[in-house]
Amino acid sequence: MVIVLSDNATEKDIELICERIKNLGYGVNVSRGVEKTIIGVIGAKDEHKLLLAQQLESLPSVERVIPILKPYKLASREWKKEGTQINVKGVVIGGNEVVVMAGPCAVENEESIMLTARAIKAANAKILRGGAFKPRTSPYSFQGLGEEGLKLLYQAGKEVGLPIVTEVLDPRDVELVSQYTDILQIGTRNMSNFPLLTEVGKTRLPVLLKRGLSSTIEEFLLAAEYIMARGNHQVILCERGIRTFEQATRFTLDLTAVPLLHELSHLPVIVDPSHGTGRWQLVPPMAKAAIAAGADGLIIEVHPEPAKALSDGAQSLNIPMFHTLMRELAKVAEAVGRSI
Ligand code: PEP
Ligand code: MN
């Protein structure tokens, strides 16, 4: 539940309320906003919330108490009304600008990642993506270059002046990957890997959390809650397609998730039309639709020669296609009152 304090509440009042909540065995989280200070109560039992809300509302230092009955709290819009903005080396995700992240599925070699980094920067993408640890369905497929891939991605980002995002697969690698990347990506197959969520929650790096391919919106937000409960509130939600009966596309891109997540949560929401469709031909229309639906950003796979890509070539745009798409996306963004 959330306790909104009156404008005249003093530090002593805040301390007393926190003390009282802690004595009940619940956690507290004080958030001092520009206009209001709010105290979040973590772990209160639903059956106790209404009584406690009434008791606290009788205090002069309390303006109102909102008993949140949703299973996630820190991630909820009730908890925090204004949208969260995440600043990655000056690139703001969750603001007016639609932030495009682009790059290959996997980092393959120096020449290719450098070429791609320069090209996506020239096309006005703001973040470079690339996998070094790849979660492949088959153990015989290319698994990524590991630390060597991280070094190449880091170097490419540094040379062209773009922040980078890359996936971490294993809780034991969080420290290593954190040394290179600006954003830690949690892939769809790991959305419910709770030890991994807990581990990235201990870092202070932004986390790009992909929706599990068979996860409900509530499970998705609970996964974000795992990260936030560890103190890391910089979570970017990513809709990347879910599994349905449909076989004509790799996944079914659930664009309803975008406005719905914005309604339920204050966290920024981005869309991955590459994994969401699995076919490069479908990437441009779904990228445009995502912006129209209110996405705060996109993550798009781009490869200089998709026909030779070591992974996900069928859904990767080549460089000229990406340039064309970026010009078209700018018009869609403008039409919905945003920029790129
Ligand atoms: C990726 O972005 O490289 C990736 C593997 O995506 P997902 O986890 O959505 O399949
Ligand atoms: Mn991929």
pLDDT at 290 over 90: yes
The residue whose C-alpha atom lies closest to atom 3 belonging to ligand 1 is 105
Query: Which one of 127, 166, 185, 315 would you pick to mutate in the ligand 1 pocket, going by the greatest count of ligand atoms within 8 A of its CB?
Result: 185
Nearest bound ligand to the CA of residue 193: 1
Residue 94 pLDDT more than 90?
yes
Residue nearest to ligand 1 atom 8, measured at CA: 187
- Using the mean position of ligand 2's atoms as its centre, give its distance from the Cα of residue 264 in Å: 28
Tell me if 75 sits within 8 A of 44, measured CB to CB: no
Q: Is the pLDDT confidence value at 50 over 90?
A: no
Q: Determine phi and psi for 101, rounding to 5 degrees.
A: -105, 135
* DSSP symbols for 284-319: HHHHHHHHHTT-SEEEEEB-S-GGG-SS-GGG-B-H
For the CA of 241, the nearest atom of ligand 1? 9
Calculate the alpha carbon distances from 22 to 50, 55, 213 in Å: 17, 15, 38
Q: How many helices (H) and strands (E) does the chain have?
A: 11, 14
Per-residue pLDDT band at 43 (split at 50, 70, 90): confident
CB of 273 shorter than 6 A to ligand 1: no
Residue-wise pLDDT tens digits, 131-180:
999 999 999 999 999 999 999 999 999 999 999 999 999 999 999 999 99
Tens of pLDDT along 190-224?
999 999 999 999 999 999 999 999 999 999 999 99
- Residue 136, token pair as written in the block: 């492949």
* Nearest CA among 132, 142, 191, 195 for reference residue 167: 132
pLDDT higher than threshold 80 for residue 46: no
What average pLDDT does this structure show over 94-113? 98
Q: How confident is the model at residue 71, as a pLDDT?
A: 85
Of the options 3.40.50.1360, 3.40.190.10, 3.20.20.70, 3.30.2130.30, the CATH number for the domain spanning 86-335 = 3.20.20.70
- Domain pair 2-66 / 86-335, same fold: no
Average pLDDT over the chain, rounded to an integer? 96
pLDDT of residue 263: 97
Which pLDDT value is given to residue 85? 98
Report yes or no: 243 and 213 within 8 Å, Cβ to Cβ.
yes
17 Cα–ligand 1 center, Å: 44
Q: Kindly list the protein residues that place their beta carbon closer than 5 angstroms to ligand 2, a single-atom ion.
A: 105, 312
Does the pLDDT at position 88 exceed 80? yes
> From CA 79, how far away is CA 168, in angstroms rounded?
28
- 282 DSSP assignment: G
Q: Domain extents for the chain?
A: 2-66, 86-335
Cβ atoms of residues 205 and 182 within 8 Å: yes
- Model pLDDT, residue 193: 98
Return the pLDDT at 171: 98
Sign for the pseudo-dihedral over CA of 331, 254, 198, 71:
positive
Is the shortest distance between the CB of 105 and ligand 1 below 6 Å?
A: yes
pLDDT tens digit string along 213-265? Answer: 999 999 999 999 999 999 999 999 999 999 999 999 999 999 999 999 999 99
Residue 211 near ligand 1, beta carbon < 6 Å: no
- What average pLDDT does range 295-307 have in this prediction? 98
Q: Looking at the domain 2-66, which fold is it?
A: Alpha-Beta Plaits (3.30.70)
- Give the ligand 1 atom nearest the CA of 188: 8
- Measure the CA–CA gap between 279 and 61, rounded to whole angstroms: 57
Phi and psi torsions of 5, nearest 5°:
-85, 155
Instruction: Report the pLDDT averaged over residues 305-329.
Output: 98
User: What does the pLDDT read at residue 45?
Assistant: 81
| Residues pairing with 331 in the sheet | none
Tell me, in angstroms, the distance from the centre of ligand 1 to residue 105's CA.
8
Contacts of 120 (CB under 8 A, 6+ apart): 102, 103, 128, 162, 302, 322
Say how many Å lie between the CA of residue 292 and the centre of ligand 1: 23
User: Which one is predicted more confidently, 227 or 67?
Assistant: 227
- pLDDT, residue 34, reads 80
Is residue 76 in contact with ligand 1, taking CB distance under 6 Å? no
The two structure tokens encoding residue 115: 């070429």
Residue whose structure tokens are 């996936």: 167
Give the residue-averaged pLDDT of 267-273: 99
**pTM assigned to the model:** 0.87
* pLDDT (0 to 100) of residue 48: 83
Q: Residue 253 — left, alpha, or beta (φ > 0 → left; ψ -120 to 50 → alpha)?
A: beta
For residue 275 and ligand 1, the question of a CB distance below 6 A is answered with: yes
Q: How many angstroms is it from 313 CA to the middle of ligand 2?
A: 8
Is the predicted pLDDT of residue 1 greater than 90, yes or no?
no
* Per-residue model confidence as pLDDT tens digits over 153-166: 999 999 999 999 99
